[in-house]
Structure 1
Amino acid sequence: MNIFDRKINFDALLKFSHITPSTQQHLKKVYASFALCMFVAAAGAYVHVVTHFIQAGLLSALGSLGLMIWLMTTPHSHETEQKRLGLLAGFAFLTGVGLGPALEFCIAINPSIIPTAFMGTAMIFTCFTLSALYARRRSYLFLGGILMSAMSLMLLSSLGNLFFGSIWLFQANLYLGLMVMCGFVLFDTQLIIEKAENGDKDYIWHCVDLFLDFVTLFRKLMMILAMNEKDKKKEKK
C-alpha cells in the first residue's frame, strides 16, 4: 500500500460538529470584521510612521477609548449596524496609530523586527484560535479567573516597577504577558462561541475582543524581539 496515495479530506478538517450552523455563520462575520480591523489598523500605523506625529500615542489612545465606549453603548440592531461598523473602523484606525511609537522604536533598532513579530503573532493567534475552535465547548472557560488574576498581578508589578526601575521585572512582565494573551485567545474564542450559542450575535463587539488580543500579542512580541536585538548589539560592542 502506497501511503502517498492517501487523500486528505480538507472539508472534514474544517467541520466543527459541536458548533451549530448559526454560530458558524456568526464566526464568519466576526473574522471578516477582524480582517477589516487588521487592514484599517495597518493603515493607521502607516500614517503615524509617515507623519511622525509625536503626540499621536496619547491622542490616539484617548480617541480609541472614546470610540470603544461609544461602540459599547450603541445598541446592536440592524438599523445601527453600519454606524457600529464605522465606529469599529475608527477604533481600529486609532489603535493602529497608537502602535506608531512602538513601531518607530523597533524600526530604529532593526526594521526586520516588525514583519517577524507580525508573522509570529499571526501564527500564535491562528494556532490558539484553532485549538479553541476544535476543543470541546466550555473546555477553556475556566481560564477566565486565572487570566484576570494574572493581569492584576502584572498591573501591580508594573506600577511597582515605576519606583524600582528593574529591567528584569519589565522583561518578566513582557514574557508573562505574552503567555497570558495566548490564554485570552483561547478564552475569548470559546466565550464568543458560548455567547453566540446563547443568542448573543453581536459580531462587531465580539470582533473587538479578538482584535485587542491580537494587537496586545503583537505589541508584546515586538517589544521582546526589540529587547533581544538591543542585547545582541550590546554584546557585539
Structure 2
Amino acid sequence: MNQNYSTVAQRSSSVLATNKVLRNTYLLLSLTLLFSGLTAGLSMFLNMPPMTYLISVISGMVIAMFVLPRFANSTAGIGIVFLITGLLGFGLGPMLTMYASLPNGGNIITLSLGGTGIIFMGLSAYALATRKDFSFLGGFLMVGFLLVLIAALANIFLQIPAMSLAISSVVILIMSGFILYDTSRIIHGGETNYVLATIGLYMTIFNIFISLLQILGIMGNDD
C-alpha cells in the first residue's frame, strides 16, 4: 500500500516538474485563491449586502468570457485573472457572513473548505499520476452543466429544498469531472495557456465550495 502511494506521488511530481504550463497554472491558482480569501474577508468586514454576490459573479463571468481571452497571452492577463478572482471572492463575503451566523456556521464553512481541497487535490493527483486522457468527458460535462443551469434557474422560482440539494450534488460531480478534464488537457497539450487554465480550475473550485456550503447548510437546517 505504501509502495503504491509512493509510486503515485513520484509520478505526480515528475509530471509537475516537466510541465511548465502545469507549474505556472498551479502557482497562479494558489495565489488567486489566497487573494480571493483576502477579498472575501474584506467583504465580510464591510458587511456587504447579499446583492454583492450576484453583481460580483455576473461581473466576473462577463470579464472572464469577453475580456480575458483578448489578453490571455500577455502579462495583463494575469492582472485580469486577479481582478476576476478578487471579484468572486468579494462576492462570497455576504454568503459566508450568512453561514457564519448559523448555529453550526463555523463548522459548515470549515468542512466546505476542507472538502473542496480534498476533492481538488485528490482528482488532480489522480489525473497527474495516471496521465489518462479525459478529453472524452468534454461533451458530457457541457451538456450536464447546461441542464443543471436550467434546473437552477427553475428552482429560483420553485424554491424546493430537495431540488436545491440535488442540484448542488450534481454540480459537485460535474465540477469534479471538469477538474479531470482540464488537468488532462494541460498534461496532454490541449491547453497551453496557463492564464486560461488557471481561471478554468478556479471556477471549478469556486463552484464546488459553494455547492458544499449549500449542501451542508441545508442538512444543518434539517437537524
Q: What TM-score do the two structures reach when normalised by structure 2?
A: 0.87
Match of 2:106, SS state, is: coil
Give, in angstroms, the shift of residue 62 of structure 1.
Answer: 3.6
Shift of 1:40: 0.5
Aligned partner of 1:107 in structure 2 is 100
Does the aligned pair in 2 maintain the 1:18–1:137 contact within 8 Å? no
Indicate the larger mover: 166-175 or 50-59.
50-59
Unaligned runs of 5+ in 1: 1-5, 233-237
- Other structure's SS at 2:11 match: coil
Q: Percent identity?
A: 24
Report the equivalent of 1:15.
Answer: 11
CA distance in 2, matches of 1:65, 1:188: 18
Q: Give 1:155's match in structure 2, choosing from 149, 152, 163.
A: 149
Greater share of helix: 2
Report what 1:93 is aligned to.
86
Q: Cα distance, 1:173 vs. partner?
A: 0.7
CA RMSD in angstroms comes to: 2.5
Matches of 2:72 and 2:4, distance apart in 1 = 44
CA contact (8 A) 1:16 1:133 kept: yes
For residues 12 and 143 of structure 1, the distance between their equivalents in structure 2, rounded to whole angstroms, comes to 23
Question: Which of 52, 62, 67 does residue 70 from structure 1 map onto?
Answer: 67
1:191 to partner: Cα distance: 1.7
Deviation at 1:190, TM superposition (A): 0.7
- Name the amino acid aligned to 1:97: F
**Inter-CA distance 121–75: structure 2 relative to 1 (3 Å threshold):** closer
Aligned to 1:112, what secondary structure does the other structure show? helix
3-state SS, counterpart of residue 28 of structure 1: helix
- Using a 3 Å threshold, how does the CA distance of structure 1 residues 113 and 20 change in structure 2: closer, same or farther? closer
Q: Deviations over 1:58-84 (max 9, x none)?
A: 3322432343232212151xxx22x22
Distance of aligned partners of 1:159 and 1:64 in 2 relative to their CA distance in 1, 3 Å threshold: closer
Q: How does 1:24-43 map to 2 (within 5 A)?
A: 24-43=19-38
Question: What amino acid maps onto 2:160 in structure 1?
Answer: S
Cα distance change of structure 1 residues 167 and 118 upon mapping to structure 2, 3 Å threshold? same
Q: Which runs of 5+ in 2 are unaligned?
A: none
Q: Distance in 1 between matches of 2:176 and 2:57?
A: 23
Cα distance in structure 1, aligned partners of 2:43 and 2:98:
12
What is the count of residue pairs matched by the alignment?
Answer: 218
Q: Deviations over 1:87-113 (max 9, x none)?
A: 111111111011122212211112221
Distance 2:168 2:72 in 1: 36
Runs of 4+ in 1 over 4 A off after TM superposition: 6-12, 16-22
1:223: which partner in 2? 214
